[in-house]
Amino acid sequence: MDTRDSLDRSSAEGPHPMPASDGYLPYNPNGDSAGPDNLQQTQPNASGNESSGAVDAVLQSDIGINTLLTRLKQSVASAREFAAFLKKRSTLEEEHAQGLKKICKSSHESSRRPDNRQGSYAQHYNEVIGIHDRLADNGVQFALSIHQMHEDLHDLAVNIERGRKQWKQTGLSAEKRVQDSEALMERAKAKYDSLADDYDRARTGDKQSGRVFGLKGPKSAAQHEEDLNRKMQAADADYASKVQTARSQRQELISTQRPQAVKAILDLINECDAGLTLQLQKFASFNEKLLLGNGLCVSPLKGQNNDQSPRSLRDVVFQIDNTHDLNSYISSFSPRAGQRPADIRYQPHPSTGPTQQAPPTDGRSHIEPNTQATTPSGNFHPAPFPDNAPVPSTAQNQRSETDHFPVQNPAGQSYEGSPHQQTFPGSGVAAAPPQLPQPQLSSPLYSQPQKPPTPVNPDHTHPDLPPLRPVFGVSLEELLHRDGSAIPLVVYQCLQAVELFGLDFEGIYRLSGSAMHISKLRAIFDHDPSQVDFRNPESFFHDVNSVAGLLKQFFRELPDPLFTHHHFQNFIEAAHIDDDVTRRDSIHAIVNSLPDPNYATLRALTLHLYRVQEHSSANRMNSGNLAICFGPTLMGTGSNIADAGWQVRVIETILHNTYQIFDDD
């Protein structure tokens, strides 16, 4: 009984740390197995560190493995969080760097165009672009570095999480087996205690329990005592075996399994924390390197030989010499200036005597021999006609450039013609129907505007003519570089024909023309547009609707719409504005940002459509109807069909505010 009582006491008191002689050693930070040498090395560290005792107490307890697993989970979560931050940062840096390189490339190409400044400005501007290109290279390198850090840290977190799950299963399974064996031991002890109490009462003669009945009838006291003794001995043996099993499993857990799990989990925690700290240090280093590299690009350090060291951004900008660039540009045209013309003076013929200068005696007005009036530029112009003289027909043809656009008279004064008619000085009669300004192309058609081109008979043309100078499907930028005119010739001719013959035509731009006529006219323009003259209605089969359809087909087939894909969404967003003034100003700002050929063509078309809607009482085409016809044609078809209504609103707003949007031109 003494042996059993001592065993009961040891079981009831629960697990306690066992001495080193029993095989358990204190926690070793290095993770080595228990041994005398390691014990001697760890004892000074434990005495020197106040917190080591508390750490060992937790790690040696039943909650040690769970505590470490929770801490390891936090380390993995932190590593993943920083890896996600690195990924987002690398994406932002990559987008910024690539965008900067794209801007540098486009700016470098634009600076080499002849319509931009040259000289010192172009040279130093390219150096500025080069500095930004090096900044972009630094950004790309930084983005690649932190992206690699993200991948390394993500792989580390995945491996650590895999090890955490493995040791969680191993460590907690060992703890569970010990807990289960101790629970079985407790149940065996309770059964043994109950039988021992019953046997003690039967042996001492306690009769309080009354008579005992068995399966075969009532038992005597001796039989009942013998039966209880036999059961108690069986329970004692079972209890002793359960205690031995629980003790051996706990001893194995404390001496082997728990230290191994603790060591493995600590190694994982240290590895994860060390990897995260290393990546943080690399991140700080890469940021310093990026900022230092960008700083050296913008403002390099001055070496011993300042001439060979790269210049700073500030020095490059301050080297631009505006005065020298202007003088160089003007002096480059000196070969074209030629010699200064001689003084203009009257030289009479030697055969005429001085008496020829006397006034006539017949009383008629004397006409000077020189009937040509000169202008300050040295070019000769016909003398003014008398008030009662008829106006020559050529004056009406040459007036088309003053109908709707500001022009300069020989004296240098500016005036603007009426949108409807113009009266020439001295004529007293109204001019011909309004015409669009004549575009100045490099072709012979525009070098001699007084001589109209020979019209082509469209009946003798074939729609399969070879496209010698294609117009349809060619971008406005390419037409500008090829023909030298901001307004394409096909647009000019079509607008001219509609204004001459179609302003009062009902349903203009709404009714469809003949497909065969449109095909023939397109072939003529693609073959040789210089031979087209729509001032003669025979050139377009007397079918003004076909001319309107040809114009809309040209705009539909542009590779980039007149309003451009780049500004499409900006126009749609501006159309959503309810306030009329704010919407007009927003659309005005976007129109001003269009490329030059797009802006010039849109201006000519808008002024034309404004004159068309002024005749809406006859042609039934107000600004709303014209906007419906030209909305998708000029803006292109977006991805959302619901934008069609907003496209119409954009065109209608421009037509309502034509002279507010294009007033400054």
Question: Under DSSP, is residue 638 helix (H, G, I), strand (E, B) or coil?
Answer: coil
All residues at 6 or more sequence positions from 51 whose CB lies less than 8 Å from its CB, including other chains: none
Q: Are 371 and 382 in contact (CB under 8 A)?
A: no
CA 492 to chain centre: 37
Alpha-carbon torsion angle 34, 37, 42, 43, nearest 10: 110
Give the residue among 91, 100, 88 at the shortest CA–CA distance from 137.
Answer: 100
* CA–CA gap between residue 279 and residue 277 (Å, rounded): 5
* CA–CA gap between residue 508 and residue 552 (Å, rounded): 12
Residue keyed to tokens 């228990």: 34
All residues at 6 or more sequence positions from 66 whose CB lies less than 8 Å from its CB, including other chains: 172
Question: Under DSSP, is residue 197 helix (H, G, I), strand (E, B) or coil?
Answer: helix
Residue 381's DSSP bridge partners are: 373
pLDDT value at position 650?
96
Residue 382's DSSP bridge partners are: 372
Helix ranges (DSSP H) in 415-470: 444-447
Task: Write the pLDDT tens digit of every residue in 593-606.
Answer: 999 999 999 999 99
DSSP letters spanning 35-92: -HHHHHHHHHHHHH-TTHHHHHHHHHSTTHHHHHHHHHHHHHHHHHHHHHHHHHHHHH
Give the chain's residues under pLDDT 50.
1-44, 46-48, 355-454, 664-665
All residues at 6 or more sequence positions from 619 whose CB lies less than 8 Å from its CB, including other chains: 502, 503, 504, 505, 506, 507, 508, 612
Largest CA distance in the chain: 186
Task: Write the pLDDT tens digit of every residue in 572-601.
Answer: 999 999 999 999 999 999 999 999 999 999
* CA–CA gap between residue 427 and residue 478 (Å, rounded): 42
pLDDT value at position 499?
95
* CA–CA gap between residue 556 and residue 635 (Å, rounded): 9
Sequence length of the chain is 665
3-state SS string for 205-266: CCCCCCCEEECCEEECHHHHHHHHHHHHHHHHHHHHHHHHHHHHHHHHHHHHHHHHHHHHHH
Question: Under DSSP, is residue 31 helix (H, G, I), strand (E, B) or coil?
Answer: coil
Its pTM stands at 0.40
* CA–CA gap between residue 648 and residue 641 (Å, rounded): 12
Question: Under DSSP, is residue 32 helix (H, G, I), strand (E, B) or coil?
Answer: coil
Question: Under DSSP, is residue 381 helix (H, G, I), strand (E, B) or coil?
Answer: strand
H or E segment and range at residue 179: helix 120-203
CA 205 to chain centre: 98
* CA–CA gap between residue 479 and residue 472 (Å, rounded): 10
Please compute Rg for the chain using Cα positions.
51
Residue 214's DSSP bridge partners are: 217
Question: Under DSSP, is residue 7 helix (H, G, I), strand (E, B) or coil?
Answer: helix
Amino acid at 31: G
- Label residue 388 exposed, middle or buried (CB < 10 Å: 0-12, 13-18, 19+): exposed
pLDDT value at position 79?
94
* CA–CA gap between residue 592 and residue 599 (Å, rounded): 7
pLDDT value at position 371?
36
Residue 416's DSSP bridge partners are: 406
* CA–CA gap between residue 289 and residue 44 (Å, rounded): 44
Two tokens, residue 105? 């490339």
Per-residue CA distances from 370 to 366, 367, 414, 640, 644 (Å): 12, 8, 29, 70, 65
Q: Are 642 and 630 in contact (CB under 8 A)?
A: no
